[in-house]
A and B are shown apart, each in its own frame.
Chain A
Amino acid sequence: MNLKVGIPRGLLFYRFYHLWKTFLEELGLEVVVSPPTNKLIVQRGLTYGVEEICFPVKVFLGHVLSLKDRVDFLFVPRMVSFYKGEYNCPKILGLPDLVRNLFGVSPERLIDGEVNVREAGIRGWRRGFLELGKKWEKSEKKILRALEKAENAHRFYRKELKKGFFPENLIDQKPLYAPREKKVLLLGHTYLTSDSYINMNVVQKIHSLGYGVITQDMVEEQKVRDYLRFVRKPSFWTISNEIIGTALAYLVEKDPSVKGYIHMVSFECGPDSLVGELIERWIKRERDTVPYLRLEIDEHTGEAGLVTRLEAFVDMMEWRHAQRESNLSSSFAS
């Protein structure tokens, strides 16, 4: 029987699932993923987490708990950086240490090799995966071959996202929503915008109010990076930079089908607290702009409140749209 490796369904899972899964399977392991987030997982995460840590980390810890006794190894790679010159947030940097200390997982069972391309670039990436793989495979060549296959799977996954798929369509085979003419740009960490339990089905809710959803994962990476150059100093967190770049791209290009911006943040998220402020101030500085909504999510967020806010936001978008139309027609009339 194959050895089982558990991947907790949280944080960078929605970014790297296909990469990690293919890599581990190519090394001959059986991959076990924790079930989609549910009430029990969240509650456990709250009990076993550190009270002040951000909600997504608490959820992640809940996933670890639901997995740790069912598998031979826990896969919590230390994803220090996956873009040159940038970082991930300190909580992601310290994640394996948190798991180890909070749950007392033995070092042999915790796969926590460091992937860091901040200084070393692609070499840091390869070195990281060699370290992760050497637990089960001695031959470097074989590990690198597994990595190559994993990278291909990852590239395919990222390409599919660009076509308008959500991670849940590709990972859990959930059906696609029908396309809509009017859209909102949903910004935010993928672990919030893609986990439909913790975001209380926000995509479906927006959709049922008549709007389609674009996320930053659907925008071409090159474009995001190009627009990031408009900023005097980009942030040093990769995902925050992707959020900033996407927000700027839509702010400058003014896609007429996009009627509003929603930035989904988690209450205790450090980078979001600053990045959200930047985006909000830029949007307010624009003269001809569309409505903006900051949706703060944590374990205390109620579904009713979220629905009310979304409905009010949709009203706002409709109103703004009508204003603009009437402005246009009056100017034509004169």
Chain B
Amino acid sequence: MKATFPHLLHLDVALGILYPLLGIEIVPPPPITQKTIEIGVKLAPQNACFPLKVTLGNFIEGIEQGADTLFMAGGVGPCRFGYYGQIQRLILEDLGYDVQFVLIDHPRYGMKAFLDALRSMAGGKIASLRVIKAASLAWKVLRFTEDLEAQRRALRCQVEKKEDLDRIIDGAIERLRNIESVDDFSIIRKEAEEALASLVRRAHQEDLIKVGIVGEVYVAQETRINFNVERILGDLGVYVHNSVSTVEYVLHTLPLLRSREKLEAWEMARPYLKRFVGGEGIDSVGSAVRYAKKGFDGVVHLYPFTCMPEIVAKGILSTVSKDYNLPILHLAIDEHSGEAGLVTRVEAFVDVLERRKKRRSVTEVDVSWISS
């Protein structure tokens, strides 16, 4: 069995450690490129959401690299994600590919199918010590890659040399691909953290513009399809925080293990959106409120064009924006999105935030002068 799976930012690093340790040979799909997108767009239903198309492109490219087994997750709705696998399987069948489609889905669709899928994804035994050990290392690696990206967002606007920042983070992620044990991991983590701490920072960091990212889990994270909005913002001198994370996405079915940040966000969404509407709809609303309360200057809302939960969120975010006087930039991404247009919109948005910030600080000075 040579297995492949779709990309989601650095998920391939974690899975690239997990599967060899479980004795499963994997063929990761090549990184997402324009070609991946073109393949997916050509084969997928026209009005399906963009992540379905890109992940289908991943599957085809993985098969071309020699994969004979595909790993995919399912779901029970109401967002379309839970149905991707069914559509993708049908498309691959019609194309005549002779591959095994391992779809891990809710036990509702058959306990045996669920356990079989789990078993083949875990390399035979589900609850052996080997599996637990491998899974815990992969989980650590996934968390760490997310930490690194969080640092990159926060530091990009602050460090003197952006190249050094990228070199340290990309280097650490590349090194993680080849680790075999927890010890290897600890060394890489320690070195990366020290290197990041020693980066020279610019003075005057108090008046940084702060922008939070909210949105759908795939588009808001996958820098290869969202034109690396975080980088564009960082290069414009903006401090960026992303509320979306794969770790949280996995944990959202286990409320006890979720971060305080997310639980707060769900609570804060309530006055606007009273219940879960699938996907990250409620997270987007809640995180935007949370950013407003934390004094962020603006929010960028990233989602696939026609994404159902995010469109509900978009309708509601207009009220959040009014109530908190918080500018929100909505960016719907699909195969028709162009980089130039997106960059222009982000630049204009940052421009607005800068002006607002200046105006606000002037008023603040005025007030203090009168009261003194």
Q: Give residues in A with beta carbon < 8 Å to B.
A: 49-50, 52-53, 78, 80, 85-91, 93-94, 96-98, 101-102, 112, 114, 232-233, 235-237, 267-274, 276-278, 281, 285
Contact = CB atoms under 8 A, between A and B. Distances in A.
Contacts of B279: 90
A90 B79 contact: yes
Given A89-B308, A271-B80, A98 B316 contact: yes
Contact of A233 (B79, B86, B274, B311): B86
B315 A98 contact: yes
A173 B278 CA distance: 38
B94 A281 contact: yes
Contacts of A50: 311, 314-315, 318
B87 A90 contact: no
A271 B109 CA distance: 19
Contacts of A268: 47, 306
A87 B274 CA distance: 16
B78 A236 contact: yes
Contacts of B274: 78, 96-97, 112
B272 interface: yes
Contact of B308 (A80, A85, A90, A278): A90
Nearest to A49: B315
A98 B275 contact: no
A112 B275 CA distance: 12
Given A50-B315, A85-B108, A236-B78, 13 more contacts: A52-B311, A53-B315, A80-B275, A87-B77, A87-B78, A90-B308, A90-B309, A94-B312, A114-B275, A235-B77, A273-B47, A274-B45, A281-B90
B86 A278 contact: yes
B74 interface: yes
B78 A97 contact: no
B48 A277 contact: yes
B278 A93 contact: yes
Given A90-B308, A270-B80, A233 B273 contact: no
Contacts of A269: 47
Contacts of A236: 76-78, 82-83
B315 A101 contact: yes
A273 B334 CA distance: 15
Contacts of A278: 86-87, 90
A86 B46 CA distance: 25
B332 interface: yes
Contacts of B76: 236
B319 interface: yes
B49 interface: yes
Interface in B230-282: 272-279, 281
Interface in B329-362: 332
B328 to A, nearest CB: 13
Contact of B312 (A90, A272, A274, A281): A90
B105 interface: yes
A311 B218 CA distance: 42
9 contacts: A49-B315, A80-B275, A85-B108, A94-B273, A97-B272, A101-B316, A233-B74, A281-B94, A285-B94
Interface in B31-63: 45-49
B19 interface: no
Contacts of A114: 275
Contacts of A80: 275
A221 B105 CA distance: 27
A70 B332 CA distance: 36
> Considering the complex of A and B, which 7 residue pairs feature the smallest CB-CB distances, nearest first?
A236-B77, A94-B312, A273-B47, A87-B78, A277-B45, A101-B319, A90-B308
Interface string B67-80: 00000001011111
A93 B47 contact: no
B305 interface: yes
Contacts of A96: 274
Contact of A97 (B87, B91, B94, B316): B316
A281 B48 CA distance: 15
A124 B254 CA distance: 23
A274 B281 contact: no
Nearest to A282: B90
A236 B74 CA distance: 11
Given A52-B314, A270-B306, A233 B48 contact: no
B46 to A, nearest CB: 8
Contacts of B48: 273-274, 277
Contacts of B277: 90-91, 93-94
B119 to A, nearest CB: 19
Given A94-B273, A98-B312, A233-B109, A88 B78 contact: yes
Contact of A91 (B47, B94, B275, B311): B311
Contacts of B91: 281
Given A268-B47, A281-B94, A274 B83 contact: yes
A93 B275 contact: yes
B275 A53 contact: no
A268 B273 CA distance: 22
A276 B318 CA distance: 32
A235 B83 contact: yes
Contacts of B105: 233
Interface string B278-299: 1101000000000000000000
Contacts of B109: 232-233
Nearest to B314: A50
B87 A274 contact: yes
Given A52-B332, A232-B86, A274-B48, A90 B281 contact: yes
